[in-house]
Amino acid sequence: MNRNDKQQIVEDLHAAWSESTAGIVAQYRGLTVSEMGDLRRRLHDADVSLQVVKNTLARRAAEGTDFKAAEALFTGPVAIAFGSEPVGMAKAIDEFAKEHKALEIRGGVLDGKMMDAAGVKALASLPSREVLLAKMLGSMQSPISGFVRTLAEVPASFVRTLAAIRDQKEAA
């Protein structure tokens, strides 16, 4: 690989990492090509990119980005996943790591702060963004729907009282 190719890789990674909010660094030693392809497919489904790059190039690309915090993890053969959906990324990598013991999660970065492997696993255990939004919407809707039921109960109670009076007069 010549100098221009390396420079292009650094520039591409720097641009991608500047737009990403999260990244996970994993050691992939021992994975087959087909297993790496499977990991790439899973991450692609979660809108996450995976890059295997030389550590020196990764360090250069990390300059001026949030990934600078994870620079200590760039040792040995590492694959770096990055994207803007941290929970989906962590879930996909954690599930793959459970199925393939050769993939070792080393840590990651979230909004410029370094996470260890336990932090990545904790992030993977969180509910997805859609589930959290649904819970929040349900919480916001609950008081409103209770208020509407209370307002509807006043006329309904009045109508039931009138019906009871009518039935009582008809019986008499």
Give residue-wise pLDDT tens across range 77-134.
889 999 888 888 899 999 999 998 888 999 999 888 899 889 889 888 888 777 888 8
Q: Are residues 119 and 171 in the same domain?
A: no
Same domain, yes or no, for 29 and 97? yes
pLDDT band, very low/low/confident/very high, at 144 (cuts 50, 70, 90): confident
Same domain, yes or no: 118 and 133: no
> Is the same domain home to 100 and 133?
no
Q: What's the gap between Cα 14 and its chain centre? A: 21
Judgement on whether residues 132 and 99 belong to the same structural domain of the protein: no
Asked if 133 and 122 sit in the same domain, the reply is no
Encoded tokens for 75? 């040792």
86: domain CATH number?
A: 3.30.70.1730
Residue 25 confidence (pLDDT) above 90 = yes
Helix ranges (DSSP H) in the chain: 3-19, 33-45, 55-62, 86-99, 117-124, 129-171
User: Domain of 83?
Assistant: 3-126
Question: 145 with 114, same domain?
Answer: no
Check whether residue 54 and residue 16 sit in a common domain: yes
Burial of 162 (0-12, 13-18, 19+ CB in 10 A): exposed
Q: How many domains does the chain have?
A: 2
Question: What percent of the chain is predicted at pLDDT more than 70?
Answer: 100
Is 111 found in the same domain as 149? Answer: no
How big is the chain by its Cα radius of gyration, in Å? 27
